Structure 1
Amino acid sequence: MLLPSTFPRFSSLLPLLCFVSILAGVNSDEPELQLLLNLKAALQTSNTTMFDSWNNSNSVCRFNGITCNSRGSVTEMDLSNHMLSGVLPFDSICQLQSLEKLSFGFNSLYGNISNDLSNCVKLKYLDLGNNIFSGTFPDISTLTQLKYLYLNQSGFSGTFPWKSLQNMANLEVLSVGDNPFDLTPFPTEVVKLKNLKWLYMSNCTLGGKIPTGIGNLTELINLEFSDNFISGEIPSEIGKLQNLWQLEMYNNSFTGKLPYGLRNLTKLEFFDASMNNLAGNLSELRFLSNLVSLQLFENEFSGEIPPEFGEFRKLVNLSLYRNSLTGPIPQKIGSWAEFDYIDVSENFLTGLIPPDMCKQGKMHALLVLQNKLTGEIPATYSNCLSLRRFRVSNNSLSGVIPPGIWGLPNAEIIDIELNRLGGSITSDIKNAKTLAQIFASQNLLSGEIPEEISKATSLVTVDLSENQISGKIPTSMGELKQLSSLSLQSNKLFGSIPDSLGSCVSLSDINLSQNSLSEKMPPSLGFLPVLNSLNLSRNELSGEIPASFSRLRLSLFDLSNNKLAGPIPLSLSFQAYNGSLEGNSDLCTMDVDITSLKRCSVRSGNSRHFRTLLVCFSIGLVLLLLYLSLYMQQKKKENYRERSLKEESWDIKSFHVLSFTEDEILDSIKEENLIGKGGSGNVYRVTLSNGKDLAVKHIWNTDSSGRKRSRSSAPMIGKRGVKSKEFDAEVQALSSIRHVNVVKLYCSITSKDSNLLVYEYFPNGSLWDMLHTNKKMELDWETRYEIAVGAAKGLEYLHHGCERPVIHRDVKSSNILLDEFLKPRIADFGLAKIVQANVGKDSTHLVAGTHGYIAPEYGYTYKVNEKIDVYSFGVVLMELVTGKRPIEPEFGEKEDIVNWVCSKVQQENREKIVAMVDSRIADVYREEAMKVMRIAIMCTARVPAVRPTMRSVVHMLEAAEPFKLVGIVVTKDDDSAKKMQVPEAAKLPLDLKN
C-alpha cells in the first residue's frame, strides 16, 4: 500500500515505467511478428480468412491459430486443416524460442523438411500429417521433449530416422504410417518407448518380424502395423499389452497360430488380423468379451467358431470369410448389441442361420454364402428394414422364402441362388425401392412373377433362371429403365414376350431360353441400344424374325429350336453363326454362305416380305457391293489369321488355376466374337463351355518390313520380328498382379507370330458408360465414392505394390470396368507401361494417353512417371463429381474439364463452385462431393511434384468418406479388403485429444 507522502514521488515515475513497459513489449513481440509474417509469406491458401488477423496492427497473440504464454511469447501454432500449400520455412519457425506445439496437419504442404526442424527443441507436439511433402524426414534427436508426433500420410520416403526416437522417452503418440519409406525391419527403437499409448505404423514398408520387446509397451492403447511385409509368428509377448483397445495387423505375412496369452487382452474392442496366413483355431479369442469388431478374413483358420462369441454383448462386426471353419454359427451371435454386419462366407459351416442378428434393427449385411448351412431362412429377417445386403447363396437352405424378404426397403442385393428354396416372389417387392440385384437361380421357386416388380425401379440384374416359375412375363417390366441383365431361362413361362421389354433401354443381356414362350417375337427388341446378348432358344416362338433384328450386333445370338418361319433378314444373315437359327425348319435364307439353312425359293419369295427385301436389296446394291469388296478383303485376312492360329505351335503360361484349355481359346478367336479394336490389338469375348466369359487380347507381330505379324503397344519386337527377351519378364510382372481392383490376367498364350492375353470379362461395361452414354445409371454419391476409392486403390497397387512400378499411362473412365456390384477394376494397361530397369525408375519415353486426360507436361517432355496417372485420375474424379465429360462444348474451344473447374474455383463464388456438382447427386451429399473435388484439383496440379502420390490419394479419399462410421467395417461382398476406419480424432481416448 502506498503512503500519501510517497505518492507524488512515485507518480512522477509512471510515464517512465509505462514507456519501459511498452518498449519491452515491442522488443518481445516484434521479432516473433516478423517470423510469423515470414511464415505467412511462404504459404498460399484458398481460405481467404485464415491470415486476415496476421498483420502489423495486431499482436501475434491475436493471430488466428496462435497461442501465447503469460509473457506474450508464442507457445502453440495450430494451422491444421486450412487448405494451406507451400514450403514450410523451419529456419523461421524454430526461432520461436517458446514453441511447444506445432500443428500443420491436413493441408497441402509440399517440399522437403529442412534440418532446421531440429532447432525446435521445446516441442512437445508436432503434427505434419496428411500433407504432400517429399524427400526424407530429417534427424530429430534434439526434440527430446516430444510427447506427440504425427507424420502419417505425409509423402515422406527414403529411410526414416528411427534412431532419432532413442532420446524421446516421453513419447506417447507415434504416428508414422502411410508413408512410402524404404523397406526396413521392424525398428527395435520403437519397442523401447515405454510411455507409448498410441502407435500407428501401418503401410510404411516394414518387414522382418515383430520383436519380442513389443511386450515392453504396456501402456499401449492402440497398436497398428497393417499393410506391411511383416512375417513370422505373432509374438506371445503381445499378450502383455493388457491396456490395448485396438490391435490392427491385417495384410501382412504372419504365419502360425494365434499366440497363447492373447486371451489376456480383455480390454480389446477392435481386432483385425485378416489377410495373413494364420492357421489353427480361434479358441484363444473366446475370452475377449469386449470385442466390438473382429476381422480375421482370408486366413487359414479351422475348427469351430467359439460358442462364447454368441455371448459377446458388444459385438457388432464379424468378418471370418475365406477360411476353413466348420461347425455351426453360434445361434445367439449378434443378438445383444446393435449388430451391423456378419460375413462368414466361403467356409464349411453347417447348421442354421442365427435368427436374432437383426434384433436391434440395425443390421446392414448378412453374408453367409458358400457354406453348408441348412434349414430355413429365419422369418425375423423379413422385418430387418435396415438390411442392404442379403446373401445366403450356395448353401443347402430349404423351405419357403419369407415374403417380407422381397420387400426390404433398403436392400440393394438379394442373393439366394444355389439352394433348395421354394415359394414365390411376392407382391412385397413393390417396396424394394433400392433393390439393384436379384440372384435366385437354381432353386425351387414357383408361382408367377408379380406385376409389382415394376415398382422396384432400381433393378439392374434379375436372375431367376432354373426354377419352376410359371405364367407370363409381366408387361410392367418395361418400366425397369435401369435393367441391364434379365435371365429367366429354364422355367415354365408361357405366352408372348411382352413388347414393353423394348422400353428397357439399358438391357444388355436377355436370356429367356428353355421356356414355353410362344407367338411372335416383338420387333422392339431390335431397337434396344446396348443389347449385347440375346438368347430366345428352345421355346415355341413363331412367325418371322423381325426386320429390326438386323440392327443388332451381338456377341451371343440364339433363336434356335423354335417354330420360326420365312426369310431371314439379309443383313442378319451375317450373324447367323454357330447354329443360332437351327431347329426352325420353316426359316430360309438368301445368304449362300449359310449352308445349315435352306435357301429361299422364288415361290417362297413371292411373299410381301420377299418383295420388300428385294426392293431394299436393289436400292442398296451398289453400296453393298462396295462393302462386300472391303469385307471380303478383311475376311480373307481374318481367315488367314484363323487358319494360321490353328497351324501354329503355342506355348501357354498360366498365372491362375485355369478352367479352360488352349484349344477352347484358339477356337473362339473369330470375327463374330470380336468386341473391340485398338492400337494394341483386337479383343474378343470368349464364352467357355461352362458359361463363363473371358476377354482375349490378340496381338500380332510385325516383321522387319513393317507388315503386320503382331501389333502391340509394347516394344516387344526384335529387328527380325522375334519377341524381345523382355517379353516374358514383362508378362510375368503383369501376371504377378493380385489386386481386387485390377483386372485379372489368367494366362498368356504365345507363338512365333502371335500373343494372346486372357483376362476376366465384365459385362457391365465401364464407368464412362455409366456416366456418359445411353447406358448411364443414376449413380448416387455413395456408389460414385466407392468407385473412386476402389479405382484409386487399384492404381496405388500398380504404383506402390508391384516389384516394379506399373505406369498405366491411359487412366480414364472407359478403362475403369465395373463388375456386377459396380465395384471398379483398372483395365487395359499395356506391357510397355512397366517401369523398366534399363530405362530408369522415373521415366519412360513411350507416347500414350487420351485427349482430355493427358497431363500437361507430357506434351513437351514425353518423360513420364507415376504422376501422369495421378493427373488422369484427377480428371476421372472430376467426372464423378460433375457428371461431365473431360471435353464438353460448354467449356469453350481448346478447354477441358480441368480448366473449367479451376476457372470456377478462382471466381471464389461459393454458389458457382457448388453448382459444379452433378445435379443427379442429392443435395445432402454436395458438400461431401466437394471434398473429393478438392482432391481432384490437387491431383491435376500443373507442376507434377505438387501432385500427391496415389497412396496419398487413397488416404485422402478415405478421409472424405460420406458417412462417419463407428468401428471398422470390412465387406467381403465388396470383393476387396476395404477398410472404412474410425476417424483419427474419434479413435483417440479423451486424454490424447489435443
Structure 2
Amino acid sequence: MSSTTASLLHFLSLLSLLSLFSPSYSTTDLQLLLNLKTSLQTPTTTNLFTSWQPTNSLCNFTGVTCNPNNQTTQLDLSNQQLTGSIPFDSICQLKSLEKLSLGHNSLHGPVTEDLKNCVKLNYLDLGNNFFSGPFPDISPLNRLTYLYLNSSGLSGTFPWDSLRNMTGLVVLSLGNNQFDKTLFPEVVVELVQLNWLYLSNCSIEGRIPKGIGNLTELVNLELSVNYISGEIPAEITKLKKLWQLELYRNSLTGKFPVGFGNLSNLEKFDGSKNFLVGDLSELRTLNKLVSLQLYNNGFSGEVPAEFGEFEKLVNLSLYQNQLTGVLPWTLGSKSDFNFIDASENLLTGGIPPEMCKQGKMTELLLLQNNLTGDVPMSYANCLSLTRFRVSNNSLSGVVPSGIWGLPNVGLIDLAMNQFEGPITSDIGNAKSLSQLLVFNNRLSGELPLEISKATALIAIDLSNNQFSGEIPSTVGELKLLNRLYLQENMFSGPIPETIANCVAFNDINMAHNSLTGEIPASIGSLPVLNSFNLSGNLLSGQIPVTFSSLKLSLLDLSNNQLTGPIPQFLSPEAYNGSFAGNSGLCSQNVKFFRRCSSDSGRSQGLWLIILGVAVVAILLLLSVSCVLYLKKGSGKGEDRSLKEDSWDLKSFHVLSFTEDEILDSIKQENLIGKGGSGNVYKVVLANGVELAVKHIWNSDSDGRKKTRSTTPMLTKRAGKSKEFDAEVETLSSIRHVNVVKLYCSITSEDSSLLVYEYMPNGSLWDRLHTCGKMALDWETRYEIAVGAAKGLEYLHHGCERPVIHRDVKSSNILLDELLKPRIADFGLAKIVNRNKSKDSSHVIAGTHGYIAPEYGYTYKVNEKSDVYSFGVVLVELVTGKRPIEPEYGDNKDIVNWVSTKLNSKESVLSIVDSTIPEVQREEAIKVLRIAILCTSRLPSTRPTMRRVVQMLEEAEPCKFIGIIISKVGGSKKEEVEDSDGDHA
C-alpha cells in the first residue's frame, strides 16, 4: 500500500470518527424550515421567527422539536396569528415529522394532496383557519391518532374512506366546515378508539347509526347543526363515559330512549331545536349535569323534582316546550346556579326562591308561563343579575324594592302581570339598566326623581299602569333614552322642558294621561324623533312652530285642548286624525276645521313679522359681507391676512388648489347635499378637477349656533376642538383605494371644511333604490361588494388604531366614474382609543334597518356592529330591496324577512333581484350566505371583515359551478353562549 493511499484511508477514518460527535440533523430540514418561514407572515408584535436564523440550530427554532438524532419531529405553530399559504410539499419532506400543529391562525389557500406524504404523522391540526376547497385523500396517514380540521374553511366532499385504516384515531374533529351533504358515515362508528368526535355543522344527514354504541371510549360526541333525523338510537346508552353530548339543531324526533339515564357521567347535554317529545323523567338520575339545554322542542310533563338536588347544575334552558307543573322549589339551591330560561311553557306555581343562593346567578328568564305568587325577596340581593324577565305571567304583589336597584341588571321585564306598588328610589343604583319594561300591571305612585341616575337607560315602558304625579324633570338627564312609553296612566302636570335634552329620543308616547300646560317648543329640536303621541290629555296652547324641523312618521295630538292655527307644514294627509278633538284649533286649508279668524291668525302673523325681520337682518349681514368680499380686489394684502388669521389649512396630499378656491366655491349653486352635521358642495377647480367639500358646523358650549359672518355663504363659529384636529390627522393617514380620499381640512374657530375626492356616480343607494335608479348587473354588484368590504377591512385591520365606521349603509358607499366603491362618511371620533377598551364604544349612531341588534339594548358597538351593517348592504345588493319595506311587516326589517325565506332552495332563489339573470342567481346566493353570516344575532358569531373579504373572493362569479344551499350557523360552542335565544 502506497503512502498516499494510506493517508487517504486515514483521512476517511478520521472523518467517520468525527461524524460520531457532530450534529446529525439534515441541512435539508434546516432549508425546508427556512423556506416555510418565507411563506408565512406574522404580526410585527410577535417574535415567533426571531430564532429561525440560518446560524442557529433548527432544534432551537421556536415551535420546533427534535428527536435524539436532531431530526425534526414536531412543528407546532398554532395560535401565532400566522397568515399565508402552507407549502405542504415542503413540509412533508421533513421525514421524521410526527406532529404538525398549525391551528388557530389565519392561513388560507388549498390543502394539497402533498399532505399524504407526511406518512409518520400521528398528530395533525389544521383547524380554525381559512383554507379553501376540498380536503385530500390522506389514506397513507394510518398512524394518525389526532386529526383536527374543525372550522378550517374546507368544502366539497370529505374523503371519509381515507379514515378506514386510521384505527388508532382518538380525536376526530371535522366540525364547522361546509362539506357536501352525506349520510352519517359508517366508517366513523368503526373507529372504536375514539375519545372525541366533533362533527357539528358539516352537512351530515340521515339517522345516527346504531353502531354509535361501539364507541364506548367516547367522552365527547358533538353532532349539532346538521340534517340528522329519526330517533336517538337506544345504543347511545352504552356510552357510559360521555361527558358532553351535543345534538343541537337537527331534526331528531321521538322520546329519550329507555336507559338514557345510564349516562351517569354526562355533564353537558344540548338537544335543543329538534322535534323531541315526551317527558324528562329519563334525565332525573343525571346528577352530574352542569348544563342542560333542551329548548325549542315538544317536551311535556313536569320538570323532575330531582333537578333541585343537582349539585353541579348551573345552566338550565327549557324554553319553548309544553312543560307543565311547578319548577322544583329547591332548584339552584345546591349549586353555583348561573342561568335559567324556562320561558314559553305552561308552568304554574311560583318562582323558586333560592336560585341565587350562591350569589352567582346572571339571568332569570321565566316569561310567558302561568306562574303565580310574588317575586321572592331573595332576588333583591342578587347583585350578579344582568337579566330579570318574568313578563306575561300571573305574578302579583309588591316588587321588592331592591329589584329596581340591582347594579348589574341590564333588563328588567315585569310586563303583563298583576304587580302593585311603586318604582322605588332604589332605581338610582341601577347603573347598568338599559331597558325597564313594566307595562300592563297595577303599579302606582310617582316616578322617583332618582331615575335620572340610571344613566344607561335606553327604553322605558310604564304604559297601562296607575302611575300618577308629574313626570320628573330629571328624565332629561337620561342622555341615551331612545323610547319613552307612559301612555294609559294618571300622570299630571306639564311635560318637562328638559325632555329635549334626551337627544336620542326616537319614540315618545304620553297618550291618555292628565297632562296639562303647553307642549314644550324645545321638543322640535330633537334630531331623530320619529313618533310622538300626546293624545287624550289636557294640553293647551298652540302647536309649536318648531315642529317644522321634525320628520315624524306618527304625530298624534288629538283629544286635547289645543288652540290656534294648525301650522301649514303639518300636512293633514301625513297626519290624518292627528288634530281631532281639539275644538280650539283652526286652519285655512285643512278640512273639518273652522277657518282661522284674524285673531286666531294673529300669532301666526306675529311669527311672519319676526321671520321678516330676521330675513332683513340676514340680508344686511350678507350685504356687509359682500362688500368685504368684493374689496379683496383692491385691498388684497389686508384681506388676505385676515383670511389667513381666520382659516387654517392642513393638507394630507399634494394639492392642486388653494384655500381661496375652496372658500369661494362654498355657495348655494354648488350645494349637492345636506346632512345632520352640515352641507356638501361640489367644487370644480380651474383645471377641471372635481372635489366634494363637506362643511361641518361646530357649536358653542350651550349648543346654540352663532351667526357672525365675514364670508358669503359661509358662517364661522366658535369652539373648534383639539379633538377634531387629532381625529382628522388620524383619518387623513388612511390610504386605501376603497376609502374616499381626504385631501385636506380647512378650519376656523366656528366651522370646518373637509375636502374629498368627488364621486360622480353618487351612492350605491341611489343606484339601487331611487326613482331614477340605474340597473347594476351582477358582476358590478359583486365588485362593489368586494371593494366596499376591502375598504372596511382596512379601517378595522389596516390602521394603527381600528376605525369603527358606525354608520355603514348603501348611501355611504359612493361610486366613482368606473362604479368602483369608496367608503364615505366614516366620520370623526370613531377611532378606538388606545387608552380605552377596544371592545366597544358607547355611541349614538347608525341608521334604522342597518343597526346591529345589540345596539338596541346596550349602545355598545364594535367592529362586529359594522360587520352586521355591511351584511345588510350585501342583502340589498342581492335582493335589490330596501332595508325597511312595508312588505316585511310591523317592526321587521330585511334581515327578518330573509330569515323566513330559507326553508328551501326555491324560496331562497325567489328573493334574488328579478333583474339578475337566472343563470347568475346561484352566484348571488353565495353572497347572500355571507350576508347571513354577517347579520348573525350574536356579535361573536359574525366573521371579521378580513374573513368577509376572503369569503367574497372565494364566491367570485364563475369561479365555481353551482352552490349548495345549506343551513348557516356558527360553531355550537359560540351559540351555546346565547342559550337564552330571543329572550336576551
Same fold (TM over 0.5): yes
Q: Distance in 2 between matches of 1:291 and 1:868?
A: 36
The aligned runs of 1:89-168 (5 Å cut-off) are 89-168=87-166
1:549 aligned partner: 547
1:452 aligned partner: 450
User: Are residues 1:39 and 2:73 paired?
Assistant: no
Name which of 942, 946, 953 aligns with 1:944.
953
Secondary structure of 1:561's counterpart equals coil
Contact 1:807 1:834 in 2 (8 A): no
Contact 1:713 1:831 in 2 (8 A): no
Q: Distance in 2 between matches of 1:98 and 1:343?
A: 53
Q: For residues 591-617 of structure 1, give each alpha carbon's deviation from its aligned partner in whole angstroms, at most 9, with x where no partner exists.
A: x2x112111023433x34434347759
2:679 aligned partner: none
Q: Distance in 1 between matches of 2:929 and 2:360?
A: 43
User: Structure 1 residues 25, 955: CA separation in 2 closer, same or farther (over 3 Å shift)?
Assistant: farther
1:74 aligned partner: 72
Name which of 955, 965, 971 aligns with 2:979.
971
User: Are residues 1:771 and 2:769 paired?
Assistant: no
Shift of 1:58: 1.5
2:912 aligned partner: 832
User: Structure 1 residues 563, 842: CA separation in 2 closer, same or farther (over 3 Å shift)?
Assistant: closer
Name which of 538, 541, 554 aligns with 1:540.
538
Shift of 1:958: 9.3
Shift of 1:785: 8.3
Shift of 1:541: 0.8
Secondary structure of 1:255's counterpart equals strand
Q: Distance in 2 between matches of 1:514 and 1:366?
A: 33
User: Structure 1 residues 229, 938: CA separation in 2 closer, same or farther (over 3 Å shift)?
Assistant: closer
Contact 2:843 2:859 in 1 (8 A): no
1:421 aligned partner: 419
2:748 aligned partner: none
User: Structure 1 residues 943, 466: CA separation in 2 closer, same or farther (over 3 Å shift)?
Assistant: closer
1:610 aligned partner: 605
User: Structure 1 residues 777, 869: CA separation in 2 closer, same or farther (over 3 Å shift)?
Assistant: closer
Secondary structure of 2:164's counterpart equals helix
User: Are residues 1:309 and 2:307 paired?
Assistant: yes
Unaligned 5+ residue runs, structure 2?
1-8, 616-763, 779-840, 900-909
Shift of 1:447: 0.6
Q: Distance in 2 between matches of 1:156 and 1:576?
A: 54
Structure 1 stretch displaced more, 283-292 or 47-56 = 47-56
Q: Distance in 2 between matches of 1:779 and 1:841?
A: 31
Secondary structure of 2:213's counterpart equals helix
| Aligned residue type for 2:351 | I
Secondary structure of 1:330's counterpart equals coil
User: Are residues 1:30 and 2:27 paired?
Assistant: yes
User: Are residues 1:596 and 2:592 paired?
Assistant: yes
1:481 aligned partner: 479
Secondary structure of 1:133's counterpart equals strand
Q: Distance in 2 between matches of 1:393 and 1:19?
A: 86
Contact 1:219 1:243 in 2 (8 A): yes
Name which of 195, 208, 211 aligns with 1:197.
195
Secondary structure of 1:540's counterpart equals coil
Shift of 1:819: 14
Q: Distance in 2 between matches of 1:768 and 1:826?
A: 26
Q: Distance in 2 between matches of 1:207 and 1:466?
A: 50
Contact 1:588 1:597 in 2 (8 A): yes
Contact 2:202 2:226 in 1 (8 A): yes
Contact 1:787 1:823 in 2 (8 A): no
Secondary structure of 1:237's counterpart equals helix
| Aligned residue type for 1:612 | W
| Aligned residue type for 1:429 | I
Contact 1:806 1:835 in 2 (8 A): no
User: Structure 1 residues 714, 87: CA separation in 2 closer, same or farther (over 3 Å shift)?
Assistant: closer
Structure 1 stretch displaced more, 819-828 or 461-470 = 819-828
Shift of 1:60: 1.5
Name which of 364, 377, 392 aligns with 2:375.
377
Q: Distance in 1 between matches of 2:965 and 2:67?
A: 39
User: Structure 1 residues 795, 476: CA separation in 2 closer, same or farther (over 3 Å shift)?
Assistant: closer
Q: Distance in 2 between matches of 1:143 and 1:776?
A: 49
The aligned runs of 1:504-583 (5 Å cut-off) are 504-574=502-572, 577-583=575-581
Q: Distance in 1 between matches of 2:171 and 2:20?
A: 41
User: Are residues 1:403 and 2:401 paired?
Assistant: yes
User: Structure 1 residues 973, 213: CA separation in 2 closer, same or farther (over 3 Å shift)?
Assistant: closer
User: Structure 1 residues 404, 490: CA separation in 2 closer, same or farther (over 3 Å shift)?
Assistant: same
| Aligned residue type for 1:839 | V
Contact 2:507 2:531 in 1 (8 A): yes
Name which of 324, 330, 333 aligns with 1:332.
330
Contact 1:796 1:954 in 2 (8 A): no
Shift of 1:266: 0.6
Contact 2:867 2:945 in 1 (8 A): no
User: Are residues 1:866 and 2:927 paired?
Assistant: yes
| Aligned residue type for 1:38 | N
Q: Distance in 2 between matches of 1:329 and 1:313?
A: 16
Tell me the TM-score normalized by structure 2: 0.69
User: Structure 1 residues 219, 362: CA separation in 2 closer, same or farther (over 3 Å shift)?
Assistant: same
Shift of 1:536: 0.7
Q: Distance in 2 between matches of 1:282 and 1:309?
A: 10
Q: Distance in 2 between matches of 1:63 and 1:438?
A: 58
User: Structure 1 residues 806, 813: CA separation in 2 closer, same or farther (over 3 Å shift)?
Assistant: closer
Contact 2:843 2:860 in 1 (8 A): no
Q: Distance in 2 between matches of 1:950 and 1:84?
A: 30
2:635 aligned partner: none
Name which of 81, 85, 97 aligns with 2:83.
85
Q: Distance in 1 between matches of 2:423 and 2:277?
A: 42
The aligned runs of 1:318-357 (5 Å cut-off) are 318-357=316-355
Contact 1:419 1:443 in 2 (8 A): yes
Shift of 1:53: 1.9
User: Structure 1 residues 714, 595: CA separation in 2 closer, same or farther (over 3 Å shift)?
Assistant: farther
Q: For residues 748-777 of structure 1, give each alpha carbon's deviation from its aligned partner in whole angstroms, at most 9, with x where no partner exists.
A: xxxxxxxxxxxxxxxxxxx99943589999
Shift of 1:950: 14
Contact 2:332 2:356 in 1 (8 A): yes
Secondary structure of 1:430's counterpart equals helix
The aligned runs of 1:431-450 (5 Å cut-off) are 431-450=429-448
Contact 1:340 1:364 in 2 (8 A): yes
Q: For residues 209-257 of structure 1, give each alpha carbon's deviation from its aligned partner in whole angstroms, at most 9, with x where no partner exists.
A: 1000000000000000100011111111111100000000100000111
Secondary structure of 2:51's counterpart equals coil
| Aligned residue type for 1:332 | T
Secondary structure of 2:912's counterpart equals helix
Contact 1:536 1:560 in 2 (8 A): yes
Structure 1 stretch displaced more, 162-171 or 936-945 = 936-945
User: Structure 1 residues 256, 788: CA separation in 2 closer, same or farther (over 3 Å shift)?
Assistant: farther
Unaligned 5+ residue runs, structure 1?
1-11, 621-675, 683-699, 701-707, 717-766, 800-804, 845-863, 881-927, 962-966, 977-994
1:858 aligned partner: none
User: Are residues 1:249 and 2:247 paired?
Assistant: yes
| Aligned residue type for 2:131 | F
Tell me the TM-score normalized by structure 1: 0.68
The aligned runs of 1:769-918 (5 Å cut-off) are 770-771=844-845, 808=878, 825=895, 831-833=911-913, 838-840=918-920, 843=923, 866=927
User: Structure 1 residues 80, 355: CA separation in 2 closer, same or farther (over 3 Å shift)?
Assistant: same
Secondary structure of 1:328's counterpart equals coil
